Amino acid sequence: MLSDRLSLIKPSPTIAVTTKAAELKAAGHDVIGLGAGEPDFDTPEHIKQAATEAMAANKTRYTAVDGIPELKQAICDKFQRDNNITCTPSMVTVGTGGKQVLYNALMATVNPGDEVIIPAPYWVSYPDMVLLAEGKPVFVDCPQSVGFKLTAEALEAAITPKTKWLILNSPSNPTGAGYSADDLKALAEVLRRHNHVYILVDDMYEYLTYGDFKFATLAEVAPDLQERTLTSNGVSKSYCMTGWRIGFATGPQPLIKAIAKIQSQSTSNPNSVAQYAALAALNGPLDFIAENLKAFDRRRQLVVNGLNAIDGISCAMPDGAFYVYPNIAGIIGRKTPDGTVLSDDSAFVSYLLEAAGVACVQGVAFGLSPHFRISYATSDANLQTSLDRISEAVSKLS
Ligand code: GLU
């Protein structure tokens, strides 16, 4: 009954871990979920209020397939204000989460055998989306030693005549590594030499950056590449709106139209009420984000320091997002009290869930081992307890 296509992909591992943690909790187990990549803060009141008002005003019917005009204009204003990217509403698309925008973009452009360069570690869904579009993911290893970032040399070496897209995500899920303006300029130099390559930019964590890191995006530092760039973003992470499912992007008009064509034959418009909520978010105050950032930054330090104090774990300090991606090379090969050898990061993550009641995501899901991902978008108390439990579980290994 099932298609051959289905066998190309697996269920999203981040969602699988989140679901498993929720099930264990519901069954009465003491599990702390550090798998889900979503803020623990509530959607701000003014945004929920806008949704309530939209419902009261019966803004509950179909809208334009790829977004209401007011929201598209607010998105243009956002790109101009934050990123110095000039666009018109006809160069903007709105979808059901950033995920749908990326999926549609790939479905609209990738021919069988087209190559898509994906720096690893990567967000779990990029390769599977490429496979569904019958493309070929081309992974480029970007280990901790190069700051988990794609270098100009590595990009140059990965490009072939079949390359359709390069996917760039900064700050990165799962590492939190951020590309500086200079990093992006170096990549732009390479991209200029290969004008058949399009660039799919995922800026979902734009507002979530820490310390001295200054966010930049490709179309901002290389305006000449704007016509080959799809710059995507969304309200999920910055505005604590994961469940509302609103993502957006700007790019060349033919691509934006193609994305709408696919959307018209699958989901139609993103949820109408959620679009009005997103409109209030984009046009509204940003001060609450600064408050949330203080908490995220405190947790970032807590988690990085706590992990580095554990024998066998080495954790880089992320520039942004709310993930850390610790290296566990020092743990691989150790034995659990019941004699199981922890031969890879999946085994380690299973051990943490069983022995410590802490749910994390295995590095292999993100394409770079031996690592695991922790989302620190949860309370300080949960994080401290998790660190204590991980430390104790690791101390029991021999
Ligand atoms: N993007 C989040 C994560 O990486 C949410 C789950 C998903 O869509 O992957 O955890």
What is the number of the ligand 1 atom nearest to the C-alpha of 124? 9
What's the pLDDT tens digit per position in 345-389?
Answer: 999 999 999 999 999 999 999 999 999 999 999 999 999 999 999
Position 244 confidence tier, pLDDT thresholds 50, 70, 90: very high
Output the CA torsion 208→97→186→372 (10° steps). Answer: 60
CATH topology of domain 4-42+288-395: Aspartate Aminotransferase, domain 1 (3.90.1150)
Residue 59 amino acid letter: K
Q: 145-151 — which CB contacts under 8 Å span 24+ positions?
A: 147/177, 147/316, 148/121, 148/172, 148/175, 148/177, 148/316, 148/325, 148/368, 149/119, 149/177, 149/179, 149/183, 150/119, 150/187, 151/186
Return the residue whose CA atom lies nearest to atom 3 of ligand 1.
37
Distances in Å between the Cα of 22 and the Cα atoms of 16, 18, 27, 222, 236 are: 10, 6, 9, 43, 20
Question: Which of 20, 125, 366, when mutated, tests ligand 1's pocket best, judged by the most ligand atoms within 8 Å of its CB?
Answer: 125
Ranges of each domain in the chain:
4-42+288-395, 62-283
* Residue 184, pLDDT above cutoff 90: yes
Q: Is 263 in the pocket of ligand 1 (CB under 6 A)?
A: no
pLDDT number for residue 394: 98
Q: Atom 2 (ligand 1): residue with closest C-alpha?
A: 37
Compute φ and ψ for 77, nearest 5 degrees: -60, -40
Q: Whose CA is nearest to atom 5 of ligand 1?
A: 37
Is the pLDDT at 148 greater than 90? The verdict is yes
- Return the beta strands (E) in the chain as ranges: 32-33, 92-95, 115-120, 136-141, 163-169, 198-202, 229-234, 247-250, 323-324, 358-359, 361-362, 372-375
d(CA 364, CA 121): 9
What pTM, to 2 d.p., does this model score?
Answer: 0.97
Which residues on adjacent β-strands are paired with residue 335? Answer: 341
pLDDT of res. 310:
98
Residue 97 CA: nearest ligand 1 atom is 8
Q: Is 173 in the pocket of ligand 1 (CB under 6 A)?
A: yes
CATH match of 62-283 with 3.40.640.10: yes
Residue nearest to atom 4 of ligand 1 (CA): 37
Separation of CA 347 and ligand 1 centre (Å): 21
Measured in Å, residue 386 CA sits from the centre of ligand 1 at 20
Give the pLDDT confidence score for residue 334 in this predicted structure: 98
Q: Is 91 in the pocket of ligand 1 (CB under 6 A)?
A: no
- Taking only the tens place, the pLDDT of each residue in 357-368 is 999 999 999 999
Is residue 301's pLDDT more than 90? yes
Evaluate: CB of 15 within 6 angstroms of ligand 1: yes
- Ligand 1 mean position, distance from CA 36 (Å): 6
Q: Taking 90 as the threshold, does the pLDDT of residue 187 lie above it?
A: yes
Side chain identity, residue 213: F
Q: For 22-27, what is the mean pLDDT?
A: 92
Number of residues that this document lists for the chain: 398
- For ligand 1, whether the C-beta of 12 sits within 6 Å is yes
Counting from 1 in the atom list of ligand 1, the atom nearest the Cα of 35 is 10
pLDDT tens per residue, range 251-294 = 999 999 999 999 999 999 999 999 999 999 999 999 999 999 99
User: Tens digits of per-residue pLDDT, 85-102?
Assistant: 999 999 999 999 999 999
Please identify, by atom number, the ligand 1 atom nearest to the C-alpha of residue 15: 6
Which residue owns the Cα nearest ligand 1 atom 10? 37
DSSP SS3 for 65: coil
Nearest residue to 235 via CA among 207, 263, 259: 207
Chain mean pLDDT for the chain: 97
Question: Is the peptide bond between 137 and the residue preceding it cis, with omega within 30 degrees of 0?
Answer: no
150, pLDDT greater than 90: yes
Q: Which of the four pLDDT bands, split at 50, 70 and 90, describes residue 203? A: very high
Give the percent of the chain with pLDDT over 90: 99
* Contact (Cβ atoms closer than 8 angstroms) between residue 146 and residue 177: no
**Confidence band (pLDDT; 50, 70, 90) for 36?**
confident
Q: pLDDT band at residue 7, thresholds of 50, 70 and 90?
A: very high
Report residue 287 as tokens.
């001060």
Provide the pairing of β-strand 229-234 with 247-250: antiparallel
Residue 62 in 3-state DSSP? coil
